[in-house]
Structure 1
Amino acid sequence: MITGGQSYVSAPPAFSADGRLILICTGRVVSVFSTSTAMLVSPAPPPSPLNKLVSELEGHEGDVTAVAVVAPPAAATAAAKLVSYCWTAGLDGVLIYWDFMAAEAVRKVQVGLPVHSMVVPNICRTTKGVEVPTPFAFVSVEDTSKPANDPKALRGQTRIYDLTKGRQVGNLLAETRKPESIVESSSGEFLGIKNKRKLHVWRVPTKDFKAEKIRKIKLHHTKNLTTLAFHPSERVVAGGDVSGRILIWRSFGNVKFSGESGAKSKVDDGRDGVRGEDDADTCTTLHWHSSRVGFLRFSSDGAYLFSGGLEGVIVVWQLDTGKRKFKPRLGSPLLFFAESPDSSISCVSCTSNQVYLLKMPNMEVIKSIAGIKQHISSPSLPASHRLLYGYDFTNRRIAIPTNDYCIQFYDLVENNEVSEVQICERNFQPVDDITMYISLVSLSIDGNLMCTVDVKLPEEELGGLVTLKFWNHGSNARHYFLSTVIYEPHSDAGVSAVAFCPGRNMAVSSSLGGNFKVWVQSVSSQLSSERNNSGWRCQSVGSYKKKPMTAAAFSGDGSVLAVAAESVITLWDPDNNALVGIIAEALSPITNLSFVGTSAFLMSLSQSSRPQVAMWNVSNLSMHWSYSLFAEAACCSPDGTAFAVLTRLSCSAEQDGVLLLFDAENPNPVAYWSVKKVCTAEVSLHSTKGGSIAFVKGISLAANANDLKDEETLSLVYINSSHEYVVFDPQPTGYASIYGELPKLESAKGVSDIPFIPSDRPWETIFSGSSHVLPPLTKLCSTFLSSLLEKQNCCK
């Protein structure tokens, strides 16, 4: 399998000690990127000290939630010190210590509860009069033994773990309603978390550490706090709240952290901005953000404070003068900010699943690490809206409508963004209501043509607009340019489906208004490379008894056009717009039609209260077989007779599902895979806002990425509700994949054939057969087992 599409912004990133690498939590692994190229690190040729580096650290069985870069041990070699060591934490309740040079998990510490945040301060312990660096981890865990549906249950806990001995030390530092993110000062002396309207701040003895010497203060505010940051050299802490205000407490802890055990002196009156008996000298307020503050970070010299939030703007506050500078137009709300050790480069994480690398101090964007972007999600969208991906079969890419009105092209093999096409112009404003969205995107089988449908929502039931746009592939392999714009292609009705004709510059669009239109590209535009001469026109219009047209598809050779008129499948000659046949009705309105390769089979999918997956024989206009099965999605191979169905197992949140692979002629599944996150909590029973599947040109699934080769095979792609994808190999496994199918034996004369019934336990008969037909057992078993094992390269 090939996997990709994970989030790059689920947790704060971290720079290596030399600043040449950036570590990003991506699902269950930590991906290592180069800051100079923004690409995954690959092994370098000898004699470079980086020749053993790998691009991902795999070892967690749950999502990684924190990565903390630490200094290498004193005994480490000079080459090893070029790259920092790190600790990682995950929802599997494990802390792992990594050696980058060996690409090896050196040590594991079992916490036993999901870890949501972790810091590893630089702490020393005195042993025989000598200060010895000793790693301690401060972790924020979730107590899963307490009921999740109880709003008063304290499920968040802040704990301390001795990473050398692998056990918890001291008592709980705090208990909160939910796990909170832990923030440390650059010196490691102060730690803090936000808890509703309070900041909890601890002073940690970095020398001669003992858990009982840790002291704590609370700083109060009138609104819920969202983030905090510590000054690198002074006793100053900043906190951001939900209203966009930034509070700066100066000289905090002068009383409680004075060194006197149990000291609780009276605080002076007249402290500006300080509430009650909070232990701080002053509290000042800065305000520019219009809504919640996403992050705060002091510069390494302490002269500036960086802040960011929903506006997509980094604000640089000069603390002495109060002046501001801005880094605007980052395009989406901001989540995290991190600086490299030498302060020459920093990074900012955005909700669009992008990490921008910034050259300091001007904050010029020099590189970006882009994952699959978010799609539009809003209660103002119509209930019938479905997130539909486009698939470039030939180039093995996904076309994804995003929330900034773009189509993002994403490479399935390289797991990175290829390009973007701006469908509608839009300036990012965080408080904007959703006024339009991209409802459909379709690509031709060779990827040279693209069609999109964007919908402008009506205001007070007036002013809605549907626009159909055709795009041609430019000379640049990553570029599309706009060819034709058609406003209201089906009068005032929406577009239900768009499909291209294989091998021809022809497309069809169907409408719930009761008709479909066949579009063709003019001959002059096909012969000319000039954009101005490129154009599409409507060749014909068809309808069937004024029924809504819900789905459409061309046959593999382009000679037949199938259009679903609700539950009736109509067959047309696309060249002269003649109705050539009608297939019997399905159980309910059809939402998806697709021809199975160049065969005579047509697959239909119905997703209403009477769901159905049906296979139709076009040659005799009859149903071949069907299942009363609710399918989240279905797809057919452009070649051969394979098709796949994605179905959910239940109606629970982020539920799992099953991906079934069929041969068109046989109702029994050829293979199946268990898949995760078919849909999320907001998806209703019969919605299709969750997973998606498609066949693409064959991708070799070799264990070594360097062995990837183009092959004349098919691969099956599954994308879940979180935009994570998996590429499956639909080829047969087991005996057939090694030696091929066993020869069919003719029955003896006069002996009637015994009907074959598929076994429910096929593994019991996989090696059945005559001894003279089967290979020797010693050869068969070893080859069979090798085909099931994943090959990996071992680093010595």
Structure 2
Amino acid sequence: MITGGQSYVSAPPAFSADGRLLLVCSGRVVSVFSTSTGMLVSELEGHEGDVTAVVVAPPPANAAAAAMVASYCWTAGLDGMLIYWDFAAAELVRKVHVGLPVHSMVVPNITRTSKVTEVYTPFAFVSVEDTSKSANEAKALRGQLRIYDLTKGRQVGSLLAETRKPPKIVASCSGEFLGIVNKRKLYIWSIPTKDFKPDKIRKIKLGHTKNLNTLAFHPSERIVAGGDVTGRILIWRGFGNAKFSKAHGAKSQADEERDGVRGEDDAETCTTWHWHSSGVKFLKFASDGAYLYSGGMEGVIVVWQLDTGKRRYKPRLGSPLLFFVGSPDSSISCVSCTNNQIHLLKMPNMVVLKTIAGIKLPLTSPNLVRRDVYGFDCTNGLVAVPTEDYCIQFYNLFENTEVSEVQVCERNFQPVDDITMYISLVSLSINGNFMCTVEVKLPEEELGGLVTLKFWNHGSRAGHFHLSTVIYEPHSDAAISAVAFRPGKNMAVSSSVGGNFKVWVQSLSLQSSDEKSQSGWRCQSVGSYKKKPMTAAAFSGDGSVLAVAAESVITLWDPDNNALVGVIAEALSPITKLSFGGTSAYLMSLSQSSKPQVAVWNVSNLSMQWSYTLFAEAACSSSKGEFAVLSLLSYPEGETPAEQDGVILLFNAENSNPILSWSVKKAKGGSLAFVKDDISLDARGEDASLLVYVNGSHEYFIFDPRKNEESQLSKSAQKNIQADEPASIGYAAIYGQLPKLELKKEVSDVPFIPSERPWETIFTGSSHVLPPLTKLCSVFLASLLEKRPVANE
């Protein structure tokens, strides 16, 4: 079984100690990417639940031991496990059993004195969910903060806090302070980093008038920043001077000297900044503490100068922001976006170096958009997903990577709640040569609505298309219910709830001899049936029959002459999807109204073969006459969950008994498709068809429906995993790699022979070509030094 489509932005990522690798939580695995290429290097597989936190083990004080732990990390997951990894070798080292779902974790740099030397001792502070308490109880404290000794693998001390929901834990760079957000307060703990004992932990609270979203600690001073739901940023300076100082119990400053501090909060001053129009999603101090980074719904990184409050911006990231993480050497950072992309930024100018792109996540306003608007390129194994920024993302299902993005309409990203336009439908031809999109502009005060039909021609590579034809209001002011391409010919049909369907054909307009011919799509014919709304359309596998659903009646047409050739008996309710099995012998229909039905019709005698009363979310058919149906599990009225589970049923067209069935999660909003597998062949040497299931969260599974689970295909070798490139040093680190020179056998014309010791001739050349030595030598020597993070005292 092949899996993919996991979210890369469900939790903050983490950089390796040298900044060359980025560890990303992606479903039940941790994906390791190279920061130089943006490509997948390896995967850490061992959790049985979604991974919620990854923490790179901090290096100890001595340099020799630092090199040993530079490639180790801790991960936490909803399976209640903490796992220690050697991520350089992708090997699991040990596990610590927590027993409750872990939603957040930090591992501060804590040392213990052993005789003369200080020994690094890992203690994990975890945020867990107490599942023994009912989630329906209004005031149930299901969130708990616990401490685990990772060396001994057991819990130590008592609970630090209990909250309604498991909070996100934030630690300072030194590990001296921990903090969480709880409604309108910040909870901050002082952690003894030397000779750690749980009973020495002390806590303070800082209050605000609005609910808080996030917090961040200054790297070297007692300054903490908090962001609230209204877009305000609060800076508390000198927090904990009264309770955390060595002279415990010392009184704080007089109230009149504590500007902006509320009540008895233990802080010297509190300053408020405001730029964001909505809630602040992340706060992060620069490594030197001079700047503060913030981000939210606007898709803009705001850089605040801490001393003056002045700001500058990194705009046009194209999506709301979630997390901002810096690397230990401060030369690179990354920002996670809600569209499942991670941008690697070169600091301090924040230039985007690489982008790690996953499959785009579901639209935030599903009520305005059809749920099954995916398009499948079954030949090339691609899925086309409409996005919020009015693009079609083409995603390779076998390699789990983005192939391309096609901009359907030019629109700048605007962080507003009102949706004015959306892509309602995308359809691809079987061979992937054509694409059709339907975009809908919503009316404002019942005026200005527009439906646009666009045809796209295939480009030079898979997933690349260029616009061919734009048709405004193809069915007057009525909505388009379906678009289908005819196999083997440049023909398509669009059906409309306005009461007709149109057949479109591609035509070539010849230009002069020195100009290329241009292709466009035109309407060849129009059909209707008793003025009923046309709700679905499909071509047979051989292209000889066109089936169009007129509400609950299925009509059969000759697509060449646009002549009605037959009418099949009515279904129980209006049909929303049609699909032929095989060539043209059988036809499946889906009705998704209050009277749901899945029916298979015999086209030759215009009769029903069999039917079921199922809440079907999606269906597809194979060239071998098999039908796959995604059915939702029924729930009592008013109790249907958002992530509804379901079952996939595989039928043979002639038999009403399912051949096989599979239970699946998140079936609501899911889709099915058969795709070709060019590598594995069946017993007769024909291309085998694999079944793809995409769930409501855009996670997908590919499997062979004809094989048992034990013999499922495995394509881990097909994943786009590449070895990490070695870091450049010396001249290459400054100016890049020199071109390779092929030396001739006769070397008499060569002015000099390359030495076996290249450092003797690396600065050989004309003086007007090389930079001055005062500049070149310092940069060259710096490039030879290994970058290591500085351990804070």
Q: Is the 8 A contact 1:26 1:64 kept in 2?
A: yes
Give the direction of change, closer, same or farther, for the CA distance of 1:526–1:21 in structure 2 (3 Å limit): farther
Which of 604, 627, 647 is 1:643 aligned to? 627
Q: Residue 100 of structure 1: CA displacement? A: 2.0
Q: Which has the higher contact order (CA 8 A, sep 6+)?
A: 2
Contact 1:387 1:439 in 2 (8 A): no
CA distance, structure 2, for counterparts of residue 614 and residue 353 of structure 1 = 38
SS state of the match for residue 677, structure 1? coil
In the alignment, does 2:598 pair up with 1:609?
Answer: no
Instruction: State the distance in 1 between where 2:442 and 2:515 align.
Output: 34
**Secondary structure of 1:590's match?**
coil
Q: For the residues of structure 2 that align with 1:83 and 1:127, how far apart are their CA atoms?
A: 22
2:185 and 2:588 map into 1 onto residues whose CA distance is 59
The equivalent residue for 1:487 is 472
CA distance, structure 1, for counterparts of residue 360 and residue 511 of structure 2: 33
Distance 1:79 1:340 in 2: 17
Q: CA deviation at 1:601?
A: 1.2
Contact map agreement 1:17 1:82 (CA 8 A) in 2: no
Instruction: Quote the offset at 1:74 in angstroms.
Output: 9.7
State whether structure 2 residue 16 is matched by structure 1 residue 16: yes
Task: List per-residue Cα deviations over 1:270-293 (Å, max 9, x = no partner).
Answer: 211111111111111111111111
Q: Is the 8 A contact 1:18 1:82 kept in 2?
A: no
Question: Which deviations, in whole Å up to 9, do the C-alpha atoms of 1:41-80 show, x marking residues without a partner?
Answer: 0xxxxxxxxxxxxx11111111110000004689999997
Question: TM-score by structure 1 length?
Answer: 0.85
Paired position in structure 2 for 1:731 = 706
**How far does residue 531 in structure 1 lie from its aligned partner after superposition?**
8.2
Decide which of 291, 310, 317 is 1:330's aligned counterpart. Answer: 317
- Secondary structure of the residue aligned to 2:548 is strand
Q: 1:526 to 1:392 in 2, by over 3 A?
A: farther
Superposed, 1:614-633 pairs within 5 Å as 614-633=599-618
Question: Mean alpha-carbon deviation: is it higher for 517-526 or for 500-509?
Answer: 517-526
Give the direction of change, closer, same or farther, for the CA distance of 1:669–1:142 in structure 2 (3 Å limit): same
Contact 1:467 1:487 in 2 (8 A): yes
Q: CA 1:792/1:428 → structure 2, altered by over 3 Å: closer, same or farther?
A: closer
Cα separation, 1, equivalents of 2:497 and 2:463: 33
What is the alpha-carbon distance in structure 1 between the residues aligned to residue 268 and residue 294 of structure 2? 23
Q: Is residue 72–residue 84 contact of structure 1 (8 Å, CA) maintained in 2?
A: no
- Structure 1 unmatched runs, 5+: 42-54, 680-689, 703-709, 735-784
- Whole-Å Cα distance in 2 between the matches of residues 140 and 316 of structure 1? 30
Q: Which moved more, 1:493-502 or 1:280-289?
A: 280-289
- Structure 2 letter corresponding to 1:11: A
TM-fit CA distance, 1:389: 0.4
TM-score (structure 2 length as normaliser):
0.86
Question: What letter matches 2:632 in structure 1?
Answer: R
Which is further off, 308-317 or 74-83? 74-83
1:696 and 2:675 are equivalent in the alignment:
yes
Letter in 1 for 2:629: V
Q: Which aligned pairs between 1:574-593 and structure 2 lie closer than 5 A? A: 574-593=559-578
Q: Shift of residue 107 of structure 1? A: 1.4
Change (3 A) 1:112 1:362: same
Contact 1:71/1:84, CA 8 A, preserved across alignment = no
Counterparts of 2:557 and 2:392, CA distance in 1: 31
The amino acid of 1:667's aligned partner reads: S
Query: What's 2:654 paired with?
Result: 665
CA 424–577 in structure 1, closer or farther in 2 if over 3 Å, else same:
same
SS of the equivalent of 2:244 reads coil
Pairs within 5 Å for 1:41-56: 41=41, 55-56=42-43
2:75 paired residue number: 88
TM-fit CA distance, 1:657: 1.4
Confirm or deny: 8 A CA contact 1:72 1:85 kept in the other structure: no
What CA deviation, in whole Å up to 9, does each residue of 1:469-489 have, x standing for no partner? 111112344421111111111
Superposition deviation, residue 344 in structure 1? 0.8
Deviations for 1:412-432, whole angstroms, at most 9, x for unmatched residues?
011011111111221111125
State the one-letter code of the partner of 2:255: D
Q: Deviations over 1:8-32 (max 9, x none)?
A: 0000000011111100000111111
Q: Is the 8 A contact 2:359 2:395 kept in 1?
A: yes
What letter is aligned with 2:648? L
Go from structure 1 to structure 2 and tell me whether the alpha carbon gap of 1:788 and 1:362 turns closer, same or farther (over 3 Å shift). Answer: closer
1:112-127 to 2 correspondences below 5 Å: 112-127=99-114
CA distance in 2, matches of 1:40, 1:358: 18
The alpha-carbon distance between structure 1 residues 721 and 192, as it changes in their structure 2 partners (threshold 3 A), is same
Q: Which amino acid aligns with 1:602?
A: L
Share of identical aligned residues, percent? 77
Amino acid at match of 1:576: N
For residue 30 of structure 1, what is the aligned residue in structure 2? 30
Cα distance in 2 for partners of 1:191, 1:699 equals 53
* Equivalent position SS for 1:491: coil
- Displacement of 1:650 in angstroms is 3.0
Q: Which whole-Å CA distance do the structure 1 matches of 2:515 and 2:383 have between them?
A: 27
Give how far 1:451 is off: 0.4
The size of the alignment, in residue pairs, is 708
Higher alpha-carbon deviation: 621-630 or 201-210: 621-630
Q: What amino acid is aligned across from residue 565 of structure 1 in structure 2?
A: A
Q: Is the 8 A contact 1:589 1:606 kept in 2?
A: yes
Q: Which amino acid aligns with 1:644?
A: A
Map 1:507-518; keep pairs closer than 5 Å: 507-518=492-503
SS at match of 2:199: helix
Paired amino acid for 2:9: V
User: How many Å apart are 1:463 and its aligned residue?
Assistant: 1.6
| Residue of structure 1 equivalent to 2:254 | 268
Distance 1:472 1:528 in 2: 22
Aligned to 2:436: 451
Residues 1:674 and 2:660 are matched in the alignment: no
Report Cα offsets for 1:183-214 as digits up to 9, x if no partner.
01111111111111111111111011111111
- Seen in structure 2, the aligned counterparts of structure 1 residues 791 and 35 have a Cα distance that, compared at 3 Å, is closer
Q: 1:718 to 1:699 in 2, by over 3 A?
A: farther
Instruction: Kindly provide the CA deviation profile for residues 98-138 of structure 1, in whole angstroms up to 9, marking residues without a partner as x.
Output: 11244222111111111110000000123345422110000
SS of corresponding position for 1:212: helix
Indicate if the aligned counterparts of 1:380 and 1:434 stay in contact, CA closer than 8 A: no
Shift in alpha-carbon separation, 1:111–1:185, aligned structure 2, 3 A: same
**Runs of 5+ consecutive residues of structure 2 not aligned to the other structure:** 718-793
Query: In structure 1, what is the equivalent of residue 507 of structure 2?
Result: 522
Write the distance in 2 (CA, Å) between the matches of 1:109 and 1:75: 27
Once residues 700 and 333 of structure 1 are traced to their aligned partners in structure 2, the CA distance between those partners, rounded to angstroms, is 39
CA distance in 1, matches of 2:655, 2:514: 46
- Cα distance change, pair 612–428 in 1 and its aligned pair in 2 (3 A): same
Q: Distance in 1 between matches of 2:542 and 2:442?
A: 37
What's the CA shift for 1:259?
2.0
Counterpart residue type for residue 671 of structure 2: S
Among candidates 137, 161, 169, match of residue 150 of structure 1 = 137
SS at 1:408's partner residue?
A: strand
Map 1:66-465 → 2, pairs under 5 A: 66-71=53-58, 81=68, 83-128=70-115, 130-261=117-248, 263=249, 265-270=251-256, 271-378=258-365, 381=368, 385-465=370-450
Instruction: Report the alpha carbon displacement of residue 516 of structure 1 after superposing the two structures with TM.
Output: 0.5
Task: Choose 610-619 or 312-321, whichever is displaced more.
Answer: 610-619
Question: Alpha-carbon deviations, 1:735-785, whole Å to 9, x = none?
Answer: xxxxxxxxxxxxxxxxxxxxxxxxxxxxxxxxxxxxxxxxxxxxxxxxxx7
Contact 1:246 1:287 in 2 (8 A): yes
Which residue of structure 1 aligns with residue 789 of structure 2? none
Judged with a 3 Å threshold, the aligned counterparts in structure 2 of structure 1 residues 672 and 526 are, in CA distance, closer, same or farther, namely farther
For the 8 Å contact 1:662–1:668, the answer to whether it is kept is yes
SS of 1:331's partner is: coil
Asked if 1 retains the 8 angstrom alpha-carbon contact of 2:172 and 2:178, the reply is yes
